[in-house]
Structure 1
Amino acid sequence: MSATFFVRCALLLAAVLLNGCQQQDAPPLDQQLYVWQRQWTDAHDDALAQSRGDFSTLRVLALQTYPQAGWRRARINPALLKNDGRPLIAVIRLDGQLKTLDQTETTVQIQRVVADWQAQGLMLAGVEIDHDAGTARLPAYREFLAGLRNVLPATLKLSITALPAWLDSPELPALLTVVDSSVLQVHAVSSPERGLFDPAQAKQWAGRWSRITAKPFYLALPAYGIALLPGDSGAPMVESEVPIEHVGQRRELLADPLQLSKLASQLRAEPPPHLAGLIWFRLPLKGDRRAWSLATLRAVARGDRLASQLKLNLSSNDGLYDIRVSNRGNLDGGLPERVTLAVTQCDAVDAVNGYAVHQTPGQLSFTRLQDGRLLADAERTLGWARCTKIDQGSSHVYP
């Protein structure tokens, strides 16, 4: 054999070894959505359609049980889910305040949901159990999950929502062996008064979780807000999707899209071992006052640069102007503090929607009276004016 042959073989071997030693690119993180409304409306149609391109799988609230109220099924729209076509995971919410978990009855209830969804032709890919069990009850919880795994169809994956509080339990590794995957909930787990979300703490929890589980896990991330109300016992009451009839000033807390976008970028660049994806809570509907807009949620999931873009919009009919401000960016923002308009000869003006108007020669000034949000792709009417002319080019919006 010639020397050239041996040189070629040596170069080929070196290339193979080099490629084998190089770190392979991590697969992109999957993006999924929780659909958490108990009562479906017509607004789900648009929300599902607009979310389809960015989120692979829907985790849909299917069934809940409470200590007093018992079992309650979510009133989903099977036709919408069937037409949507994405894989579905039925989420079973077992309230953490249940004194005991009736394993037999719970298993029967879950089997009924699975059978009903499959009979309706839904693309059911798995079942997720959402149970905030105390660490002392993890052995009993593992026993229940093992029994449920044995009776569920083999084609369905079984997952659980998991709490960071379990990280210090010696029972956690055994619990994770009986499910196919876990969803680590890293929001609303500390005192609500400290906020909904701490990105540094979330990364730390994810790193610790990755060293315990040998199976895929997901992070459940917040895309919503809550309000804190003073409670009768001194502890704050939490108001989320359902309004609470209670007297007292509400303090609004909202997950910050910029924080979550930064965390998602970091996780995409350097994912902990076994991290399979991110699941966003929750699918926002039109009129959802405590959720990000779908435009912001999609932009965060894609890793787009986030920015609000406030713009003044005027429409006139025979000298009567409607005055509106819109957000043409992809980031939900605050309502503008002030809007000034250069005007000529105004006979009448008025403000609406939490604004006051002040008129001086040649100018109208609309001032915000209370804080509020202007969602991405949304518009807010500030008032109206009957004027000879409003010069939009000389008018200004102050954030």
Structure 2
Amino acid sequence: MSALLLVLGLACTRVGTPPARVLVHESYVWQRDWSPELVRSITEAPSELGAFRVLARERSGPARTPVDVAVDVDALARSGREVIAVMRVDGTAPLDGLSLQEVAAHARAWRARGVRVRGIELDHDCATASLVGYADWLARERAALGDLKLSITALPTWASSPVLARLVSVPDDIVLQVHAVRAPTLFTPEQARGFIESWSQATGRPFHVALPTYRVRLRDGTRLSAEPQEVARFLAGLRERPVEGVTGLVWFRLGHRGDPEAWSLPTLTTVVRGEPLVPTLLPRLVDAGGGTLDIVLENTGRVDAEAPARLSFSGNLEVLDGVGGYTPRGTSLVARTPPRLRVGERRVVGFVRGTEVAIAVP
């Protein structure tokens, strides 16, 4: 009888437990050049991406010269997904003389051409000390948007501002940026977790989290990268231990084959779906004619990956040389900074002549 009661109690606990919160996924489309490769990514984007937040207009620098992006509106309409038109305003630019109607006009024009426009977004990294004026400006501009929903991006540093409660009450949606916040770090799971927990406690309202899918080179030449494994670790932790208020994720940015600094589309899909991130780099020797063998690396997996720093060879080597950062060292090719191969990428890294030549990755 005790065992039966225990089983029934466990069953009731399972039945009464609320289902795990499902996080929605969206993506920024931030390219200024709408190439055929970008259109292909929009077409082939994973079904989990429910909306695109599309850069439509920019104002930057002291002159605040407006620049419109030549968006392929027909491609957005064909995607069938919801779309948010985004205006980016440089954090150093004053808001006087600016209007959200600049981007609202784009949103309404897109809607008239069949795009499922949800609203507009303002991407403005306002200084924390200037948030009082920013909140006033947003409230005035919000009143004239009609049925267009308003979203804004936010910085974790705003969580300490005494005007925060008033500021977050104005827009319909907030996207908290947790990447490229504190130099020289681009992203760490621990830092991002701290940002969203602090924001949740400070605001008490729903918000999205912007996650990185890119690499960047600093002015001193340092490379910073949002590694898929690290971002996936953060995402797994968020699924296991949800943070109150987090309703979805916005990936920055949707990559394509012509954008080497962003994750490939298969990598983004793998991370979004929580699938195993196992790199598969295949080294091969390919006959190039005249007794020469090209040394080829190919990424045959589902995640972008760094190439090995050393490739070793056996057999009777007559000539061994490398290209693309690889140099010969004895019977090996060595790269000080190994290249990153995107999913499906194939790259020649050297050539070799000899007999009974074989290649191995230590």
Normalising to structure 1: TM-score of the pair?
A: 0.80
Kindly provide the amino acid, as one letter, of the partner of residue 143 in structure 1. Answer: D
Q: 1:52 aligns with which of 35, 40, 46?
A: 46
Q: Is the 8 A contact 1:295 1:377 kept in 2?
A: no
Tell me the CA shift for residue 251 of structure 1: 0.9
Q: 2:351 aligns with which of 359, 384, 397?
A: 384
Tell me the CA shift for residue 176 of structure 1: 1.3
Q: Name the % identity.
A: 35
SS across alignment from 1:253: strand
Kindly provide the amino acid, as one letter, of the partner of residue 396 in structure 1. Answer: A
- Bigger mean CA deviation after superposition, 205-214 or 91-100: 205-214
Kindly provide the amino acid, as one letter, of the partner of residue 350 in structure 2. Answer: G
Kindly provide the amino acid, as one letter, of the partner of residue 48 in structure 1. Answer: I
Which residue matches 1:73? Answer: 68
CA distance in 2, matches of 1:157, 1:99: 23
Equivalenced residues, count: 352
Which residue matches 1:373? Answer: 340
Distance change in 2, residues 1:223/1:317 (3 Å): closer
CA distance in 1, matches of 2:265, 2:310: 26
Tell me the CA shift for residue 71 of structure 1: 0.8
Q: Is the 8 A contact 1:186 1:202 kept in 2?
A: yes
Kindly provide the amino acid, as one letter, of the partner of residue 374 in structure 1. Answer: L
Q: Is the 8 A contact 1:180 1:215 kept in 2?
A: no
Kindly provide the amino acid, as one letter, of the partner of residue 56 in structure 2. Answer: A
CA distance in 1, matches of 2:100, 2:303: 43
Kindly provide the amino acid, as one letter, of the partner of residue 98 in structure 1. Answer: A
Q: Is the 8 A contact 2:317 2:352 kept in 1?
A: no
Q: Does 1:201 align with 2:191?
A: yes
Which residue matches 2:155? Answer: 163
Kindly provide the amino acid, as one letter, of the partner of residue 68 in structure 2. Answer: R
CA distance in 2, matches of 1:21, 1:197: 38
Which residue matches 2:174? Answer: 182
Distance change in 2, residues 1:100/1:54 (3 Å): closer
Q: Does 1:396 align with 2:360?
A: yes
Q: 1:90 aligns with which of 85, 90, 93?
A: 85
Q: Is the 8 A contact 2:101 2:145 kept in 1?
A: no
- Larger radius of gyration, structure 1 or 2? 1
Distance change in 2, residues 1:141/1:306 (3 Å): same
Which residue matches 2:241? Answer: 270
Q: 2:231 aligns with which of 240, 260, 284?
A: 260
Q: Is the 8 A contact 2:313 2:357 kept in 1?
A: yes
Tell me the CA shift for residue 350 of structure 1: 4.2
1:15-55 CA-partner distances (Å, limit 9, x unpaired): 9xx66994412321111111111121111122223323232
Q: 1:210 aligns with which of 174, 197, 200?
A: 200
CA distance in 1, matches of 2:84, 2:275: 27
Q: Is the 8 A contact 2:324 2:349 kept in 1?
A: yes
Kindly provide the amino acid, as one letter, of the partner of residue 111 in structure 2. Answer: Q
Kindly provide the amino acid, as one letter, of the partner of residue 42 in structure 1. Answer: P
Distance change in 2, residues 1:369/1:200 (3 Å): closer
Tell me the CA shift for residue 96 of structure 1: 1.1
Q: Is the 8 A contact 1:132 1:162 kept in 2?
A: yes
Distance change in 2, residues 1:111/1:345 (3 Å): closer
Tell me the CA shift for residue 253 of structure 1: 1.0
Instruction: Give matches, 1:20-59, under 5 Å.
Output: 22-59=16-53
Q: Does 1:339 align with 2:333?
A: no
Which residue matches 1:114? Answer: 107
Q: Does 1:354 align with 2:321?
A: no
Q: Is the 8 A contact 1:181 1:215 kept in 2?
A: no
CA distance in 2, matches of 1:355, 1:20: 56
Kindly provide the amino acid, as one letter, of the partner of residue 277 in structure 1. Answer: G
SS across alignment from 2:175: strand
Distance change in 2, residues 1:70/1:328 (3 Å): same
SS across alignment from 1:229: coil
Tell me the CA shift for residue 340 of structure 1: 2.7
Normalising to structure 2: TM-score of the pair?
A: 0.88
1:321-375 CA-partner distances (Å, limit 9, x unpaired): 33201222333322222223344575x654322222467xxxx533325432223
CA distance in 2, matches of 1:256, 1:351: 27
Tell me the CA shift for residue 220 of structure 1: 0.6
CA distance in 2, matches of 1:345, 1:93: 56
Distance change in 2, residues 1:289/1:212 (3 Å): same
Which residue matches 1:153? Answer: 146
Q: Is the 8 A contact 2:309 2:337 kept in 1?
A: no
